[in-house]
Structure 1
Amino acid sequence: MTRIRVPGAKARRAYTLLEILLVLALIALLMGAAVPLVSGFSREQKLRDVVRELLIMAKTARTDAATTGHPSEVIFGKKAFALRRSGEKEPSLTSPLPSGMSYTLRAFGAEKPLKPDGQRWVFQPSGLCEPITVRVADGEAWMEVRFDPLTAGIAEESFYAP
Protein backbone atom coordinates (compact mmCIF):
# COMPACT_ATOMS: atom_id res chain seq x y z
CA MET A 1 0.00 0.00 0.00
CA THR A 2 1.40 3.34 -0.96
CA ARG A 3 0.70 6.65 0.65
CA ILE A 4 -0.56 9.54 -1.30
CA ARG A 5 1.03 12.80 -0.21
CA VAL A 6 -0.82 15.97 -0.62
CA PRO A 7 1.53 18.86 -1.31
CA GLY A 8 1.69 21.33 1.61
CA ALA A 9 0.15 18.89 4.15
CA LYS A 10 2.24 17.92 7.19
CA ALA A 11 2.85 14.26 7.90
CA ARG A 12 1.40 13.10 11.27
CA ARG A 13 3.87 11.55 13.63
CA ALA A 14 2.96 8.78 16.03
CA TYR A 15 4.69 6.35 18.35
CA THR A 16 5.28 2.89 17.04
CA LEU A 17 4.09 -0.15 18.92
CA LEU A 18 7.71 -1.03 19.69
CA GLU A 19 8.33 2.36 21.34
CA ILE A 20 5.20 2.05 23.46
CA LEU A 21 6.17 -1.46 24.60
CA LEU A 22 9.68 -0.26 25.46
CA VAL A 23 8.30 2.54 27.67
CA LEU A 24 5.90 0.12 29.40
CA ALA A 25 8.76 -2.31 30.05
CA LEU A 26 10.84 0.47 31.62
CA ILE A 27 7.94 1.50 33.86
CA ALA A 28 7.45 -2.11 34.97
CA LEU A 29 11.17 -2.42 35.70
CA LEU A 30 11.18 0.75 37.82
CA MET A 31 8.08 -0.38 39.73
CA GLY A 32 9.68 -3.75 40.40
CA ALA A 33 12.80 -2.07 41.77
CA ALA A 34 10.72 0.17 44.05
CA VAL A 35 8.83 -2.66 45.79
CA PRO A 36 11.77 -3.88 47.93
CA LEU A 37 12.50 -0.31 48.98
CA VAL A 38 8.93 0.23 50.14
CA SER A 39 8.74 -3.11 51.98
CA GLY A 40 11.99 -2.34 53.81
CA PHE A 41 10.62 1.04 54.80
CA SER A 42 7.40 -0.44 56.23
CA ARG A 43 9.39 -3.02 58.21
CA GLU A 44 11.63 -0.26 59.58
CA GLN A 45 8.55 1.77 60.49
CA LYS A 46 7.07 -1.15 62.47
CA LEU A 47 10.32 -1.47 64.43
CA ARG A 48 10.46 2.28 65.02
CA ASP A 49 6.87 2.27 66.30
CA VAL A 50 7.75 -0.29 68.99
CA VAL A 51 10.88 1.64 69.98
CA ARG A 52 8.86 4.87 70.12
CA GLU A 53 6.36 3.26 72.50
CA LEU A 54 9.20 2.15 74.77
CA LEU A 55 10.76 5.62 74.63
CA ILE A 56 7.45 7.22 75.63
CA MET A 57 7.16 4.81 78.57
CA ALA A 58 10.74 5.53 79.66
CA LYS A 59 10.21 9.30 79.52
CA THR A 60 6.89 8.96 81.37
CA ALA A 61 8.47 6.80 84.10
CA ARG A 62 11.35 9.25 84.51
CA THR A 63 9.03 12.25 84.73
CA ASP A 64 6.69 10.47 87.14
CA ALA A 65 9.57 9.45 89.42
CA ALA A 66 10.95 12.99 89.47
CA THR A 67 7.58 14.64 90.18
CA THR A 68 6.33 12.20 92.83
CA GLY A 69 9.65 11.56 94.54
CA HIS A 70 9.12 7.80 94.29
CA PRO A 71 10.66 5.32 91.84
CA SER A 72 8.73 4.26 88.75
CA GLU A 73 9.55 1.32 86.51
CA VAL A 74 9.15 -0.22 83.11
CA ILE A 75 8.56 -3.96 83.28
CA PHE A 76 9.76 -6.11 80.39
CA GLY A 77 7.43 -9.07 79.75
CA LYS A 78 7.79 -11.80 77.15
CA LYS A 79 5.44 -10.22 74.60
CA ALA A 80 4.94 -6.70 76.01
CA PHE A 81 6.42 -4.01 78.17
CA ALA A 82 4.51 -2.07 80.79
CA LEU A 83 4.75 1.07 82.91
CA ARG A 84 4.17 0.79 86.65
CA ARG A 85 4.04 4.11 88.42
CA SER A 86 4.95 4.59 92.06
CA GLY A 87 2.33 3.24 94.44
CA GLU A 88 0.64 1.02 91.83
CA LYS A 89 0.42 -2.73 92.24
CA GLU A 90 -0.42 -3.33 88.58
CA PRO A 91 0.98 -1.56 85.51
CA SER A 92 -1.06 1.41 84.34
CA LEU A 93 0.08 1.24 80.73
CA THR A 94 0.97 -1.83 78.66
CA SER A 95 2.30 -1.94 75.13
CA PRO A 96 2.13 -5.38 73.48
CA LEU A 97 4.48 -6.28 70.65
CA PRO A 98 2.98 -6.82 67.20
CA SER A 99 2.75 -10.49 66.26
CA GLY A 100 5.97 -11.95 64.89
CA MET A 101 8.16 -9.45 66.73
CA SER A 102 10.46 -10.10 69.68
CA TYR A 103 12.99 -8.19 71.72
CA THR A 104 16.01 -8.72 73.95
CA LEU A 105 17.65 -6.66 76.69
CA ARG A 106 21.28 -6.04 77.51
CA ALA A 107 22.12 -4.34 80.77
CA PHE A 108 25.15 -2.08 81.09
CA GLY A 109 28.31 -4.20 81.17
CA ALA A 110 26.53 -7.46 80.30
CA GLU A 111 28.10 -9.55 77.56
CA LYS A 112 25.00 -11.43 76.44
CA PRO A 113 21.50 -10.14 75.84
CA LEU A 114 18.62 -11.52 77.92
CA LYS A 115 15.16 -12.54 76.83
CA PRO A 116 12.58 -10.47 78.68
CA ASP A 117 10.92 -12.27 81.57
CA GLY A 118 9.69 -9.71 84.08
CA GLN A 119 12.89 -7.66 84.37
CA ARG A 120 12.39 -4.20 85.85
CA TRP A 121 13.95 -0.97 84.60
CA VAL A 122 13.79 1.37 87.60
CA PHE A 123 13.70 5.16 87.31
CA GLN A 124 14.83 6.96 90.46
CA PRO A 125 13.41 10.29 91.74
CA SER A 126 16.78 11.86 90.89
CA GLY A 127 15.97 11.22 87.22
CA LEU A 128 18.59 8.51 86.81
CA CYS A 129 18.00 5.04 85.41
CA GLU A 130 20.16 2.08 84.51
CA PRO A 131 21.63 2.34 81.01
CA ILE A 132 20.07 -0.41 78.94
CA THR A 133 20.19 -1.61 75.34
CA VAL A 134 17.06 -3.02 73.72
CA ARG A 135 17.00 -4.89 70.40
CA VAL A 136 13.61 -5.25 68.70
CA ALA A 137 13.49 -7.85 65.92
CA ASP A 138 11.03 -8.66 63.16
CA GLY A 139 12.31 -11.74 61.36
CA GLU A 140 15.82 -10.92 60.17
CA ALA A 141 15.32 -7.16 60.51
CA TRP A 142 16.20 -5.53 63.81
CA MET A 143 16.61 -2.18 65.49
CA GLU A 144 18.83 -1.72 68.52
CA VAL A 145 18.69 1.31 70.82
CA ARG A 146 20.80 2.25 73.81
CA PHE A 147 19.07 4.43 76.39
CA ASP A 148 20.93 7.21 78.18
CA PRO A 149 20.93 6.89 82.01
CA LEU A 150 20.59 10.66 82.54
CA THR A 151 17.77 11.50 80.14
CA ALA A 152 16.07 8.14 79.46
CA GLY A 153 16.34 9.16 75.82
CA ILE A 154 17.88 7.21 72.98
CA ALA A 155 21.64 7.77 73.03
CA GLU A 156 22.49 5.48 70.11
CA GLU A 157 20.59 3.43 67.57
CA SER A 158 21.38 0.95 64.83
CA PHE A 159 19.16 -0.76 62.28
CA TYR A 160 19.37 -3.67 59.86
CA ALA A 161 16.84 -4.75 57.24
CA PRO A 162 17.78 -7.39 54.67
Structure 2
Amino acid sequence: MKASESQSRKPRESRGFTLLELVIVMVLIGLAMAGAITLFISNSAERRLRNISGDIELLAKRARAVAMVQQTPYAITFTAHEASLGPLVEAGLQTSERQMKQQREDEAIADGSMESRFLPVRDSLSFEEMELSIRRWGAVNWLPMLRQDPLVWRFDPKGMCEPMGVKLEYPDGWIELEFHPLTAGIRDRTMEARR
Protein backbone atom coordinates (compact mmCIF):
# COMPACT_ATOMS: atom_id res chain seq x y z
CA MET A 1 0.00 0.00 0.00
CA LYS A 2 2.80 2.33 0.61
CA ALA A 3 3.85 2.23 -3.02
CA SER A 4 0.42 3.26 -4.24
CA GLU A 5 0.16 6.04 -1.67
CA SER A 6 3.49 7.55 -2.73
CA GLN A 7 2.39 7.52 -6.34
CA SER A 8 -0.85 9.31 -5.59
CA ARG A 9 0.90 12.04 -3.59
CA LYS A 10 3.11 13.06 -6.57
CA PRO A 11 2.01 16.31 -8.13
CA ARG A 12 0.73 16.02 -11.69
CA GLU A 13 3.21 17.12 -14.35
CA SER A 14 2.07 19.94 -16.61
CA ARG A 15 1.89 18.78 -20.19
CA GLY A 16 1.24 22.02 -22.10
CA PHE A 17 0.64 25.73 -22.00
CA THR A 18 -2.34 27.28 -20.32
CA LEU A 19 -4.84 29.27 -22.30
CA LEU A 20 -3.63 32.48 -20.63
CA GLU A 21 -0.04 31.85 -21.75
CA LEU A 22 -1.17 31.26 -25.33
CA VAL A 23 -3.21 34.48 -25.36
CA ILE A 24 -0.26 36.49 -24.01
CA VAL A 25 2.08 35.10 -26.69
CA MET A 26 -0.47 35.84 -29.44
CA VAL A 27 -0.89 39.43 -28.23
CA LEU A 28 2.91 39.93 -28.19
CA ILE A 29 3.21 38.55 -31.74
CA GLY A 30 0.40 40.85 -32.88
CA LEU A 31 2.09 43.89 -31.35
CA ALA A 32 5.40 42.99 -33.00
CA MET A 33 3.71 42.59 -36.40
CA ALA A 34 1.86 45.91 -36.02
CA GLY A 35 5.13 47.64 -35.17
CA ALA A 36 6.87 46.12 -38.18
CA ILE A 37 4.06 47.13 -40.55
CA THR A 38 4.06 50.65 -39.13
CA LEU A 39 7.82 50.86 -39.63
CA PHE A 40 7.54 49.79 -43.27
CA ILE A 41 4.70 52.21 -43.99
CA SER A 42 6.33 55.14 -42.23
CA ASN A 43 9.57 54.55 -44.13
CA SER A 44 7.98 54.99 -47.55
CA ALA A 45 9.96 58.23 -48.08
CA GLU A 46 13.19 56.23 -48.08
CA ARG A 47 11.73 53.69 -50.49
CA ARG A 48 10.51 56.42 -52.81
CA LEU A 49 13.90 58.16 -52.81
CA ARG A 50 15.69 54.88 -53.52
CA ASN A 51 13.29 54.09 -56.38
CA ILE A 52 13.74 57.47 -58.06
CA SER A 53 17.52 57.28 -57.67
CA GLY A 54 17.47 53.87 -59.35
CA ASP A 55 15.35 55.28 -62.18
CA ILE A 56 17.79 58.16 -62.72
CA GLU A 57 20.72 55.73 -62.75
CA LEU A 58 18.96 53.52 -65.32
CA LEU A 59 18.25 56.56 -67.49
CA ALA A 60 21.92 57.60 -67.33
CA LYS A 61 23.18 54.10 -68.13
CA ARG A 62 20.72 53.86 -70.99
CA ALA A 63 21.89 57.21 -72.39
CA ARG A 64 25.51 56.04 -72.25
CA ALA A 65 24.73 52.69 -73.89
CA VAL A 66 22.62 54.20 -76.68
CA ALA A 67 25.26 56.86 -77.41
CA MET A 68 27.92 54.16 -77.74
CA VAL A 69 25.80 51.82 -79.89
CA GLN A 70 24.46 54.51 -82.22
CA GLN A 71 27.74 56.51 -82.21
CA THR A 72 25.67 59.64 -81.68
CA PRO A 73 25.92 62.03 -78.72
CA TYR A 74 22.94 61.74 -76.41
CA ALA A 75 21.85 63.92 -73.52
CA ILE A 76 19.66 63.93 -70.47
CA THR A 77 17.96 67.29 -70.18
CA PHE A 78 16.94 68.31 -66.68
CA THR A 79 14.13 70.80 -66.06
CA ALA A 80 12.38 71.65 -62.79
CA HIS A 81 10.39 68.41 -62.55
CA GLU A 82 11.59 66.19 -65.40
CA ALA A 83 14.61 64.43 -66.88
CA SER A 84 14.40 63.67 -70.61
CA LEU A 85 16.64 61.39 -72.63
CA GLY A 86 17.18 62.08 -76.31
CA PRO A 87 19.77 62.90 -78.98
CA LEU A 88 22.00 65.86 -78.10
CA VAL A 89 20.62 67.89 -81.03
CA GLU A 90 17.20 67.83 -79.32
CA ALA A 91 18.53 68.79 -75.88
CA GLY A 92 17.16 72.34 -75.79
CA LEU A 93 13.73 71.56 -77.20
CA GLN A 94 10.57 71.90 -75.16
CA THR A 95 8.40 68.83 -74.58
CA SER A 96 5.86 69.89 -77.23
CA GLU A 97 8.63 70.44 -79.81
CA ARG A 98 10.11 67.00 -79.09
CA GLN A 99 6.69 65.39 -79.47
CA MET A 100 6.10 67.14 -82.81
CA LYS A 101 9.52 66.01 -84.08
CA GLN A 102 8.83 62.44 -83.02
CA GLN A 103 5.41 62.52 -84.69
CA ARG A 104 7.00 63.72 -87.97
CA GLU A 105 9.59 60.92 -87.76
CA ASP A 106 6.86 58.34 -87.16
CA GLU A 107 4.91 59.61 -90.18
CA ALA A 108 8.04 59.57 -92.37
CA ILE A 109 8.80 55.99 -91.34
CA ALA A 110 5.20 54.95 -92.02
CA ASP A 111 5.36 56.58 -95.49
CA GLY A 112 8.67 54.89 -96.22
CA SER A 113 10.37 58.21 -96.94
CA MET A 114 12.72 57.83 -93.97
CA GLU A 115 14.93 54.88 -93.26
CA SER A 116 17.27 54.87 -90.37
CA ARG A 117 19.58 52.22 -89.11
CA PHE A 118 18.88 53.39 -85.59
CA LEU A 119 15.85 55.37 -84.58
CA PRO A 120 16.43 58.01 -81.91
CA VAL A 121 15.75 56.79 -78.39
CA ARG A 122 13.65 59.08 -76.24
CA ASP A 123 12.49 58.64 -72.68
CA SER A 124 11.53 60.83 -69.77
CA LEU A 125 11.30 60.65 -66.01
CA SER A 126 9.08 62.88 -63.89
CA PHE A 127 9.62 64.04 -60.31
CA GLU A 128 6.46 66.04 -59.61
CA GLU A 129 6.60 66.11 -55.80
CA MET A 130 10.36 66.60 -55.56
CA GLU A 131 12.73 69.52 -55.90
CA LEU A 132 15.67 68.88 -58.20
CA SER A 133 19.15 70.38 -57.83
CA ILE A 134 22.21 69.73 -60.00
CA ARG A 135 25.93 70.05 -59.26
CA ARG A 136 28.24 70.11 -62.24
CA TRP A 137 31.80 68.83 -62.20
CA GLY A 138 34.07 71.12 -60.19
CA ALA A 139 31.20 73.11 -58.68
CA VAL A 140 30.82 73.44 -54.93
CA ASN A 141 27.19 74.51 -54.62
CA TRP A 142 24.01 72.82 -55.81
CA LEU A 143 22.12 74.61 -58.60
CA PRO A 144 18.36 74.37 -57.93
CA MET A 145 16.22 73.77 -61.01
CA LEU A 146 13.58 76.36 -60.16
CA ARG A 147 13.07 77.86 -63.59
CA GLN A 148 12.27 76.19 -66.88
CA ASP A 149 15.83 76.69 -68.17
CA PRO A 150 17.04 73.22 -69.12
CA LEU A 151 20.36 71.82 -67.96
CA VAL A 152 22.01 69.33 -70.33
CA TRP A 153 24.05 66.29 -69.27
CA ARG A 154 25.99 65.05 -72.32
CA PHE A 155 26.87 61.42 -73.12
CA ASP A 156 29.55 60.99 -75.79
CA PRO A 157 29.78 58.07 -78.26
CA LYS A 158 33.08 57.01 -76.66
CA GLY A 159 31.25 56.14 -73.42
CA MET A 160 32.23 59.18 -71.37
CA CYS A 161 29.91 61.57 -69.59
CA GLU A 162 30.36 64.57 -67.37
CA PRO A 163 30.66 63.63 -63.69
CA MET A 164 27.40 65.03 -62.39
CA GLY A 165 25.66 65.33 -59.04
CA VAL A 166 21.87 65.13 -58.70
CA LYS A 167 20.00 66.03 -55.52
CA LEU A 168 16.31 65.30 -54.99
CA GLU A 169 14.47 66.80 -52.04
CA TYR A 170 11.21 65.30 -50.88
CA PRO A 171 9.09 66.66 -48.00
CA ASP A 172 10.23 63.73 -45.85
CA GLY A 173 13.87 63.48 -46.93
CA TRP A 174 16.53 64.01 -49.57
CA ILE A 175 19.04 62.05 -51.60
CA GLU A 176 22.29 63.14 -53.26
CA LEU A 177 23.73 61.10 -56.14
CA GLU A 178 27.20 61.48 -57.63
CA PHE A 179 27.67 59.80 -61.04
CA HIS A 180 30.87 58.24 -62.38
CA PRO A 181 32.13 59.66 -65.72
CA LEU A 182 33.10 56.28 -67.21
CA THR A 183 30.14 54.11 -66.24
CA ALA A 184 27.31 56.63 -65.72
CA GLY A 185 26.58 54.65 -62.56
CA ILE A 186 26.12 56.05 -59.10
CA ARG A 187 29.54 56.52 -57.53
CA ASP A 188 28.33 57.94 -54.21
CA ARG A 189 24.90 58.13 -52.61
CA THR A 190 23.92 60.10 -49.51
CA MET A 191 20.38 59.95 -48.19
CA GLU A 192 18.34 61.14 -45.25
CA ALA A 193 14.75 60.05 -44.80
CA ARG A 194 12.72 61.28 -41.86
CA ARG A 195 10.40 58.85 -40.14
Q: TM-score, normalised by structure 1?
A: 0.77
* Per-residue deviation, 1:60: 1.8
Q: 1-side partners of 2:154 and 2:63: how far apart?
A: 8
Please report the RMSD computed on the Cα atoms of aligned residues, expressed in angstroms.
2.8
Determine if contact 1:105/1:135 at 8 Å carries over to the other structure: yes
1:83 to 77, 82, 85: 85
Preserved contact between residue 104 and residue 136 of structure 1 (Cα < 8 Å): yes
Q: Give the C-alpha shift of residue 61 in structure 1.
A: 1.5
1:51-66 matched pairs, under 5 angstroms: 51-66=53-68
Equivalent residue, structure 1, for 2:18: 15
In the alignment, structure 1 segments of 5+ residues that lack a partner are 1-6
Shift of 1:149: 0.6
Query: Which secondary structure does the structure 1 equivalent of 2:168 belong to?
Result: strand
Q: How many residues align?
A: 153
The 3-state SS of whatever aligns with 1:44 is helix
Counterpart of 1:142 (choices 170, 174, 181) is: 174
The equivalent position to 1:29 in structure 2, one of 28, 31, 43, is 31
**Larger Cα Rg: Structure 1 or Structure 2?**
2
Question: 1:90-120 deviations in whole A, cap 9, x for unaligned?
Answer: 27211112x4223221112212111224100
User: Greater helix percent: which structure?
Assistant: 2
d(CA) in 2 for partners of 1:85 and 1:144?
26
The one-character-per-residue Cα deviations of 1:21-43 (angstroms, maximum 9, x if unpaired) are 53344234323431343135533
Question: Deviations along 1:77-96, whole A, 9 cap, x unmatched?
Answer: 11111101255562721111
Residue from 123, 142, 153 that aligns with 1:93: 123
Q: Indicate the structure whose relative CO is greater, using CA pairs within 8 Å and at least 6 residues apart.
A: 2
In structure 1, the residue matched to 2:106 is none
- Give the corresponding residue for 1:131: 163
* Corresponding residue of 1:122: 154
How big is the shift at 1:12? 8.6
Partner residue, 2:51: 49
Residue 58 of structure 2 aligns to a residue whose secondary structure is: helix
**What is the DSSP-based 3-state SS (H/G/I as helix, E as strand, rest coil) of the residue aligned with 1:109?**
coil
Answer yes or no: is 1:154 the counterpart of 2:157: no
C-alpha contact 2:45 2:172 (8 A) present in aligned 1: no
| 1:141 CA drift (Å) | 1.8
Residue 3 (structure 1) aligns with: none
Q: From the superposition, tell whether residues 16 and 73 of structure 1 become closer, same or farther in structure 2 (CA, over 3 Å).
A: same
Alignment partner of 2:144: what SS?
A: coil
